[in-house]
């Protein structure tokens, strides 16, 4: 089956429906980082990735750098509500660890997200 070619209007609608960090923040870093390391190059790529395609690992990496938190923490909370020990590429619970290490300033500016995160944590707490 041949794919339908989207018109410009359809492409713009698709971008609005499934935006990227760059689009939502209206902050375009370009394609080539000034400091080309694996982590920096990964972050540059993730800023261009549609948020609805983010994996647990994508969330872990970006949140671990304290970037785009207002956009990503709600996604992380949703992920953690399904599995409090959701894992990226390294170990069980590594998304939770990175959310727990988010700078306090973010939580102070976003008390509703803080309360939602605490609620998810308390509902899924496992006493080892």
Residue 20's φ and ψ, nearest 5 degrees, are: -105, 170
Residue 128 banded pLDDT, cuts 50, 70, 90: very low
Statement: the pTM of the whole predicted model exceeds 0.85: no
Domain positions in the chain: 18-124
The secondary structure of 88-116 as a DSSP string is -SS-TTHHHHHHHTS-HHHHHH-HHHHHH
For 56-79, how does the pLDDT look when each residue is reduced to its tens digit (9 = 90+)?
Answer: 999 999 999 999 999 999 999 999
């Amino acid at each position: 089956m041949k794919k339908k070619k989207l018109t410009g209007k359809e492409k713009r609608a698709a971008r609005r429906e499934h935006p990227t960090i760059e689009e939502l923040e209206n902050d375009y870093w370009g394609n080539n980082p000034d400091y080309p390391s694996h982590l920096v190059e990964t972050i540059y790529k993730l800023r261009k990735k549609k948020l609805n395609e983010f994996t647990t690992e994508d969330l872990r990496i970006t949140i671990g750098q304290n970037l785009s938190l207002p956009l990503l923490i709600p996604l992380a909370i949703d992920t953690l509500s399904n599995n409090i020990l959701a894992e990226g590429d390294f170990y069980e619970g590594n998304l939770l660890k990175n959310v727990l290490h988010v700078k306090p300033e973010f939580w102070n500016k976003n008390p509703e997200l803080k309360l939602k995160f605490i609620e998810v944590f308390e509902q899924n707490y496992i006493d080892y």
